[in-house]
Chains A and B, each alone.
Chain A
Amino acid sequence: MSDFGLRSLHTEMESEPIRKGFGRGLLEAGKRWNNVVAACADLTDSTQMSLFAEAFPERFVEIGVAEQNLVTVGSGLAAMGKIPFVSSYAAFSPGRNWEQIRTTICLNDRPVKIVGSHAGVSVGPDGATHQMLEDLGLMRVLPNMVVIAPCDSIEAEKATVAMAQHPQPNYVRLAREATPVITTADTPFEIGPAYVLKPGQDVSLVATGTMTYHALKAAEELKRDGINAEVVHVPTLKPLDTATLVKSITRTGAVVTAEEGQINGGLGSAIAETVAEYCPAPLVRIGMPDRFGESGKPDELLAHFGLDAKHIRLAAHHALDRKGKH
């Protein structure tokens, strides 16, 4: 275990879907605070909201397959002092109801907690329609919105409890498939900071959500190449912890970003903006290369689209090559 209470990476790591952590976190938040309520658009079990719905049926609203209504009802619940968590698949919420989120939640500044499950290509066989890749970009451009992408189920649990006390609108991104559990109960988490999970001086590997595990794995592989990579986990994409990122990138002088989403608009874009503005350095982005996914097995798809440790390692070499030429 490192200073951050991380588990060491090995082949037989325990894995659990990130959404499971959300389910436990919401139940916990419901127990702690009476004003925490929940609404779902016909995916109560899939999004793991069922734990809360069973424990607090009088504080749960089944909206039906109506995502526009989901978030606008959330706005009304928040208007009366509730902290509403509203869940669906990310492809539908915020995929379908972006304007309602913009007007009735962000401009109206109501603390609605939007829970987008089943994000990324790792949704697998359901195919492109259900593999949400644009959510981080969609949510990141909205004033007042806070955007969170936990790296595993334990962090998702902490994030959910933290969201229940956060005064602003929040979006949290969850994944369907089992994701290696890399943090422990002792790993620090707050909404806002980026965390240097592994210090290094040659290149900064900046990752979010499910890709943080792959970045840590890539750092181990790079070690064998004689490269000491720093791994920065960004659970909060907005507001971005610019101070931590600029410090890391200024020191290493090269950066690779990794996310299970479109290469445009999400973490990679956020880091590119920061690097261009504050600390110019060679940058390589790992993400979906401006295309849609397709059906397949989760691991197969991640490898197919270059969203894994192997590709992060290659990207780090590219970035370092370019750093040498500067």
Chain B
Amino acid sequence: MATEKLSAIELQGIANNIREDIIRMLEHAGSGHSAGPLGLADIFTALYFDILKHDPKQPDWPERDILLLSNGHCVPVRYATMARAGYFDRDELMTLRQLGSRLQGHPERLRLSGLENTSGPLGCGLSQACGMSLAMRMDGQQGRWIYVVMGDGEQDEGNVWEAAMLAGKYKLSNIIAITDRNNIQIDGPTENVMPLESLKAKWQAFGWHVLEIDGNNIDAVIEACAMARAVTEQPVMILAYTVPGKGVDFMEYDFHWHGKPPNKEEAKKALHELRTLGGKIRSEHE
């Protein structure tokens, strides 16, 4: 459990190191998703190194906050962040997607302590958060938060909106969902594949309190989660606008990088670029 707060510069450095690990893991695995995990590095850094109440040495700590990853294909960012946070040794990251590895291509709870759910097929994370929140309410548990990281493309799934309705109905205010709004999915830009906008109005209409932030700004992520925890009587959706492939110029904004890994040459180029950023990823809004 993190005892002292890290500075913004330190957190940015960690996020950048996580990006480097993501590139190495994916290149070594030879398959997997690049854009989403890179774009989510700042959000995961903020969660594991500042926001979450957790203990890497005691993953089942009963008072821990819950982090559900709904769009399971982005799990490389979770593995890389968990390793940095001390859940397991970083060397193990290179076993991603290999036979016998605890780091499955899509996350399997039973394989690795610290994962809260098994996901990959899209649209199920929020429902599980609802079930967890309802159970906590039945038990009179307070002060535990359930964070759900979701994709934007997965909001094509009807299951998401079934959960949205339920959370609104029961006012599940300890759920804080974060949408990785990077505007891409496998077949192309989200608004071409299946228009999602206006996402803000949709979530509001389902009874949610909605915040909008720059999802590559770690401070903004931390601040939004603090604001979200102060909201009572409503679940909170943080629409986090991110850059897919963030930090690697040739991957940024290009939907072709949604579902493929870098090859050796591309990885070399990406790592060089990440290193020459001086250990910092700056949000373009800064």
Most chain B CB atoms below 10 A, which of A66, A73, A104: A73
A66→B166 contact, CB < 8 A: yes
6 closest A-B pairs by beta carbon, nearest first, are A76-B131, A72-B127, A80-B135, A69-B162, A76-B128, A66-B162
- Give me 26 A-to-B residue pairs in the complex whose CB atoms sit less than 8 angstroms apart, sorted by A's number: A37-B138, A63-B166, A64-B165, A64-B166, A66-B165, A68-B162, A69-B127, A69-B159, A69-B163, A74-B131, A75-B127, A77-B131, A77-B135, A78-B131, A79-B117, A79-B128, A79-B132, A79-B135, A80-B136, A82-B138, A100-B159, A103-B118, A103-B121, A104-B124, A104-B128, A108-B108
| In the complex, A99 has a CB within 8 A of chain B | yes
A-contact 0/1 string along B108-135, CB 8 Å cutoff: 1110000011111101100111111111
Instruction: Contact check, A72 vs B159: say whether CB atoms are below 8 A apart.
Output: yes
Interface pair B118/A108, CB less than 8 Å apart: yes
Instruction: Mark interface residues in A49-76 (1 if CB within 8 Å of B CB, else 0).
Output: 0000000001101011010110011111
Asked if B158 is an interface residue, CB under 8 A from chain A, the answer is yes
Contact between chains at B135 and A76 (CB < 8 Å)? yes
Question: In the complex, A108 Cα to B131 Cα: how many Å?
Answer: 14
> Which residues of B does A touch, CB under 8 Å?
108-110, 116-121, 123-124, 127-136, 138-139, 158-159, 162-163, 165-166, 169-170
**Contact A73 B138, beta carbon cutoff 8 Å:** no
| CB of A109 within 8 Å of the partner chain | yes
Q: Does A81 contact B (CB under 8 A)?
A: yes
Contact A80 B118 (CB under 8 A): no
Once the chains are docked, how many angstroms separate the CA of A74 from the CA of B130? Answer: 9
Q: Does A268 contact B (CB under 8 A)?
A: no
Interface size band for A: 20 to 34
Q: Are B163 and A72 in contact (CB under 8 A)?
A: yes
With A58-B138, A68-B127, A69-B127 in contact, is A80–B132 under 8 Å at CB?
yes
A107 within 8 A of B: yes
CA distance A108 to B109 in the complex (A): 6
Q: In the complex, how many angstroms separate the beta carbon of A152 from the nearest chain B beta carbon?
A: 32
A30 at the interface (CB under 8 A from B): no
Cα A73 to Cα B170 with chains together (Å): 13
A94 adjacent to chain B (CB < 8 Å):
no
In the complex, what's the smallest C-beta–C-beta distance from A39 to chain B, in angstroms?
A: 8
**A76 in contact with B130 (CB, 8 Å):** yes
- The reply to whether the CB of A84 lies closer than 8 angstroms to some CB of chain B is yes
Question: Which of A69, A76, A108 has its CB near the most chain B CB atoms (within 10 A)?
Answer: A76
**Beta-carbon contact of B116 and A79 below 8 Å:** yes
Q: Which of A58, A76, A99 is within 8 Å of B129, CB to CB?
A: A76
Closest to A108 in B: B118
Contact A37 B135 (CB under 8 A): yes
Q: Which of A184-206 contact B (CB under 8 A)?
A: none
List B contacts of A104 (CB < 8 A). 117-119, 124, 127-128
With a CB–CB cut-off of 8 A, which chain A residues contact B135? 37, 76-77, 79-82
